[in-house]
Structure 1
Amino acid sequence: MANIRDDSHLVDGARAEARAQAYLEQQGLTTWMKNYRCKTGEIDLIMCEGDTLVFVEVRLRTNRFFSSAVESITPAKRQKMIRTAQRFLQERGLVDKHACRFDIIALDAKGQHAKPEWIRDAFGIY
Protein backbone atom coordinates (compact mmCIF):
# COMPACT_ATOMS: atom_id res chain seq x y z
CA MET A 1 0.00 0.00 0.00
CA ALA A 2 1.34 3.43 -0.91
CA ASN A 3 2.27 5.83 1.85
CA ILE A 4 -0.04 8.81 1.47
CA ARG A 5 1.30 11.96 3.08
CA ASP A 6 -1.19 14.43 4.48
CA ASP A 7 -0.07 17.87 3.35
CA SER A 8 -3.32 19.59 4.35
CA HIS A 9 -1.47 21.48 7.13
CA LEU A 10 0.78 23.03 4.45
CA VAL A 11 -2.24 24.17 2.46
CA ASP A 12 -3.87 25.53 5.62
CA GLY A 13 -0.63 27.33 6.52
CA ALA A 14 -0.33 28.91 3.08
CA ARG A 15 -3.94 30.10 3.26
CA ALA A 16 -3.36 31.53 6.72
CA GLU A 17 -0.27 33.41 5.52
CA ALA A 18 -2.16 34.80 2.51
CA ARG A 19 -5.01 35.89 4.77
CA ALA A 20 -2.59 37.54 7.21
CA GLN A 21 -0.80 39.33 4.38
CA ALA A 22 -4.07 40.65 2.95
CA TYR A 23 -5.19 41.81 6.39
CA LEU A 24 -1.93 43.65 7.09
CA GLU A 25 -1.97 45.26 3.66
CA GLN A 26 -5.50 46.52 4.42
CA GLN A 27 -4.02 48.07 7.57
CA GLY A 28 -1.48 49.98 5.46
CA LEU A 29 1.60 47.73 5.58
CA THR A 30 3.43 46.83 2.38
CA THR A 31 4.90 43.43 1.65
CA TRP A 32 8.64 43.11 1.11
CA MET A 33 8.91 39.33 1.08
CA LYS A 34 7.02 36.14 1.85
CA ASN A 35 8.54 33.02 3.36
CA TYR A 36 12.13 34.22 3.74
CA ARG A 37 14.28 31.16 4.42
CA CYS A 38 17.91 30.76 5.34
CA LYS A 39 19.97 28.29 7.33
CA THR A 40 18.86 29.84 10.62
CA GLY A 41 15.12 29.60 9.97
CA GLU A 42 12.10 31.12 8.24
CA ILE A 43 10.06 34.28 8.57
CA ASP A 44 6.53 34.07 7.22
CA LEU A 45 6.16 37.70 6.11
CA ILE A 46 8.49 40.68 6.00
CA MET A 47 6.52 43.89 5.69
CA CYS A 48 7.07 47.59 6.02
CA GLU A 49 5.07 50.10 8.04
CA GLY A 50 6.47 53.55 7.41
CA ASP A 51 10.22 53.25 8.03
CA THR A 52 9.82 50.16 10.23
CA LEU A 53 10.52 46.64 8.98
CA VAL A 54 8.01 44.22 10.43
CA PHE A 55 8.90 40.53 10.73
CA VAL A 56 5.60 38.65 10.97
CA GLU A 57 4.96 35.20 12.38
CA VAL A 58 1.59 33.78 11.35
CA ARG A 59 0.00 31.37 13.81
CA LEU A 60 -3.01 29.31 12.81
CA ARG A 61 -4.88 28.37 15.97
CA THR A 62 -6.93 25.22 15.65
CA ASN A 63 -7.51 24.89 19.39
CA ARG A 64 -7.04 27.80 21.78
CA PHE A 65 -7.26 25.39 24.73
CA PHE A 66 -3.55 24.64 24.56
CA SER A 67 -2.04 28.13 24.29
CA SER A 68 -2.45 31.57 22.81
CA ALA A 69 -0.56 32.65 19.72
CA VAL A 70 2.05 34.47 21.80
CA GLU A 71 2.41 31.59 24.26
CA SER A 72 2.94 29.17 21.37
CA ILE A 73 6.19 30.93 20.48
CA THR A 74 8.82 29.44 22.74
CA PRO A 75 11.98 31.30 23.75
CA ALA A 76 13.89 29.06 21.31
CA LYS A 77 11.51 29.98 18.45
CA ARG A 78 11.83 33.65 19.37
CA GLN A 79 15.65 33.47 19.25
CA LYS A 80 15.49 31.62 15.94
CA MET A 81 13.30 34.35 14.47
CA ILE A 82 15.64 37.07 15.74
CA ARG A 83 18.69 35.32 14.25
CA THR A 84 16.85 34.87 10.95
CA ALA A 85 15.87 38.55 10.88
CA GLN A 86 19.47 39.55 11.63
CA ARG A 87 20.65 37.44 8.71
CA PHE A 88 18.05 39.04 6.43
CA LEU A 89 19.22 42.52 7.46
CA GLN A 90 22.90 41.62 7.00
CA GLU A 91 22.38 40.02 3.58
CA ARG A 92 20.67 43.16 2.31
CA GLY A 93 22.88 45.74 3.99
CA LEU A 94 19.99 47.01 6.10
CA VAL A 95 21.57 46.78 9.54
CA ASP A 96 20.99 50.06 11.41
CA LYS A 97 18.97 51.47 8.49
CA HIS A 98 15.47 50.62 9.72
CA ALA A 99 13.69 50.22 13.01
CA CYS A 100 12.47 46.64 13.27
CA ARG A 101 9.79 44.82 15.19
CA PHE A 102 8.25 41.37 15.41
CA ASP A 103 4.49 41.00 15.06
CA ILE A 104 2.26 37.98 15.35
CA ILE A 105 -0.93 37.37 13.43
CA ALA A 106 -3.15 34.74 15.03
CA LEU A 107 -5.93 33.24 12.97
CA ASP A 108 -8.69 30.95 14.14
CA ALA A 109 -9.01 28.01 11.75
CA LYS A 110 -12.71 27.66 12.51
CA GLY A 111 -13.51 31.34 11.99
CA GLN A 112 -12.66 31.82 8.31
CA HIS A 113 -14.21 35.29 8.39
CA ALA A 114 -13.14 36.22 11.90
CA LYS A 115 -10.86 39.21 12.23
CA PRO A 116 -7.22 38.16 12.70
CA GLU A 117 -5.66 38.91 16.07
CA TRP A 118 -2.73 41.25 15.41
CA ILE A 119 -0.14 41.37 18.17
CA ARG A 120 2.12 44.28 17.38
CA ASP A 121 5.65 44.37 18.76
CA ALA A 122 5.27 40.93 20.31
CA PHE A 123 8.97 40.75 21.28
CA GLY A 124 9.55 44.38 22.23
CA ILE A 125 11.46 46.81 20.02
CA TYR A 126 14.42 45.14 18.36
Structure 2
Amino acid sequence: MHEVDMTKCLLLSMQDWRQRHGPVSPSVEVVHLQVGDFTCVEPAQLVSTWDVAIRGSWLEGARLSIESIPLVGRCVRCSATYRPSADSAYRSPCCDHPMEEVVTGRELRIRSVDYTLASSVPAEKPTPVPS
Protein backbone atom coordinates (compact mmCIF):
# COMPACT_ATOMS: atom_id res chain seq x y z
CA MET A 1 0.00 0.00 0.00
CA HIS A 2 1.90 3.07 -1.33
CA GLU A 3 -0.50 5.44 0.37
CA VAL A 4 0.60 4.52 3.89
CA ASP A 5 4.27 5.13 3.02
CA MET A 6 3.38 8.35 1.20
CA THR A 7 1.41 9.54 4.23
CA LYS A 8 4.39 8.84 6.50
CA CYS A 9 6.66 10.87 4.21
CA LEU A 10 4.07 13.64 4.04
CA LEU A 11 3.85 13.77 7.85
CA LEU A 12 7.66 13.95 8.13
CA SER A 13 7.74 16.79 5.60
CA MET A 14 5.02 18.64 7.49
CA GLN A 15 6.91 18.18 10.77
CA ASP A 16 10.05 19.67 9.18
CA TRP A 17 7.93 22.54 7.84
CA ARG A 18 6.46 23.13 11.31
CA GLN A 19 9.90 23.31 12.91
CA ARG A 20 10.93 26.10 10.50
CA HIS A 21 8.19 28.28 12.02
CA GLY A 22 10.07 28.48 15.33
CA PRO A 23 8.23 28.71 18.62
CA VAL A 24 4.84 29.49 17.05
CA SER A 25 3.02 26.37 15.92
CA PRO A 26 1.01 26.94 12.74
CA SER A 27 -2.59 25.81 12.54
CA VAL A 28 -2.89 23.98 9.22
CA GLU A 29 -6.15 24.14 7.32
CA VAL A 30 -5.29 22.60 3.95
CA VAL A 31 -2.27 20.83 2.49
CA HIS A 32 -2.30 21.15 -1.30
CA LEU A 33 -0.67 18.20 -3.07
CA GLN A 34 0.17 17.49 -6.67
CA VAL A 35 -0.13 13.79 -7.48
CA GLY A 36 0.87 12.47 -10.88
CA ASP A 37 -1.31 9.90 -12.58
CA PHE A 38 1.75 7.67 -13.07
CA THR A 39 2.67 7.45 -9.36
CA CYS A 40 0.43 4.48 -8.59
CA VAL A 41 -1.01 6.45 -5.65
CA GLU A 42 -4.78 6.40 -5.28
CA PRO A 43 -5.86 9.93 -4.17
CA ALA A 44 -8.96 8.77 -2.25
CA GLN A 45 -6.88 6.21 -0.34
CA LEU A 46 -4.22 8.83 0.38
CA VAL A 47 -6.90 11.10 1.90
CA SER A 48 -8.17 8.21 4.02
CA THR A 49 -4.73 7.32 5.37
CA TRP A 50 -4.03 11.02 6.03
CA ASP A 51 -7.28 11.40 7.99
CA VAL A 52 -6.41 8.43 10.19
CA ALA A 53 -2.75 9.44 10.65
CA ILE A 54 -3.44 13.00 11.83
CA ARG A 55 -5.98 12.11 14.53
CA GLY A 56 -4.82 13.49 17.84
CA SER A 57 -1.83 15.28 16.28
CA TRP A 58 -1.06 18.95 15.70
CA LEU A 59 -2.47 18.44 12.17
CA GLU A 60 -5.88 17.18 13.31
CA GLY A 61 -8.58 18.82 11.22
CA ALA A 62 -6.25 19.63 8.31
CA ARG A 63 -7.45 18.34 4.99
CA LEU A 64 -5.69 17.31 1.81
CA SER A 65 -6.49 18.96 -1.50
CA ILE A 66 -5.17 16.85 -4.36
CA GLU A 67 -4.47 18.12 -7.85
CA SER A 68 -4.03 15.30 -10.37
CA ILE A 69 -1.21 15.77 -12.85
CA PRO A 70 -1.77 13.89 -16.11
CA LEU A 71 0.76 11.52 -17.61
CA VAL A 72 2.47 13.17 -20.58
CA GLY A 73 5.25 11.49 -22.51
CA ARG A 74 7.66 12.73 -25.15
CA CYS A 75 8.59 10.60 -28.12
CA VAL A 76 12.38 10.47 -28.45
CA ARG A 77 12.11 9.76 -32.18
CA CYS A 78 9.83 12.60 -33.28
CA SER A 79 9.87 14.85 -30.15
CA ALA A 80 6.07 14.95 -30.02
CA THR A 81 4.40 15.07 -26.62
CA TYR A 82 1.39 12.86 -26.06
CA ARG A 83 -0.92 11.38 -23.42
CA PRO A 84 0.21 7.73 -23.12
CA SER A 85 -2.28 5.05 -22.17
CA ALA A 86 -2.05 1.47 -21.02
CA ASP A 87 -4.31 0.48 -23.93
CA SER A 88 -1.56 1.47 -26.38
CA ALA A 89 1.21 0.05 -24.15
CA TYR A 90 2.27 3.70 -23.58
CA ARG A 91 3.56 3.89 -27.15
CA SER A 92 3.76 7.10 -29.16
CA PRO A 93 0.67 7.57 -31.33
CA CYS A 94 2.72 9.22 -34.08
CA CYS A 95 5.34 6.53 -34.69
CA ASP A 96 4.46 3.68 -32.29
CA HIS A 97 7.77 4.07 -30.44
CA PRO A 98 7.77 2.95 -26.76
CA MET A 99 7.54 5.71 -24.17
CA GLU A 100 11.04 6.56 -22.95
CA GLU A 101 10.58 10.02 -21.51
CA VAL A 102 7.97 11.09 -18.96
CA VAL A 103 7.29 14.84 -19.05
CA THR A 104 4.67 14.92 -16.29
CA GLY A 105 2.80 12.34 -14.26
CA ARG A 106 5.36 11.26 -11.64
CA GLU A 107 4.81 14.22 -9.31
CA LEU A 108 4.07 13.67 -5.65
CA ARG A 109 4.74 16.93 -3.88
CA ILE A 110 3.37 19.53 -1.55
CA ARG A 111 2.41 22.53 -3.66
CA SER A 112 1.40 24.79 -0.75
CA VAL A 113 -0.06 24.89 2.74
CA ASP A 114 -2.94 27.05 3.97
CA TYR A 115 -2.35 27.91 7.64
CA THR A 116 -2.66 30.53 10.33
CA LEU A 117 -0.14 31.69 12.92
CA ALA A 118 -1.68 32.80 16.22
CA SER A 119 -3.98 35.67 15.18
CA SER A 120 -2.84 36.11 11.58
CA VAL A 121 -5.06 35.66 8.54
CA PRO A 122 -4.89 32.43 6.49
CA ALA A 123 -2.04 32.40 4.02
CA GLU A 124 -1.00 30.11 1.21
CA LYS A 125 2.73 29.56 1.38
CA PRO A 126 4.75 27.63 -1.21
CA THR A 127 6.44 24.65 0.34
CA PRO A 128 9.66 23.41 -1.24
CA VAL A 129 9.84 19.77 -2.15
CA PRO A 130 12.34 17.87 0.01
CA SER A 131 15.21 16.46 -2.03
TM-score (norm. length: structure 1):
0.31
Q: Select the structure with the greater relative contact order (CA < 8 A; seq sep ≥ 6).
A: 2
Structure whose alpha-carbon radius of gyration is higher: 2
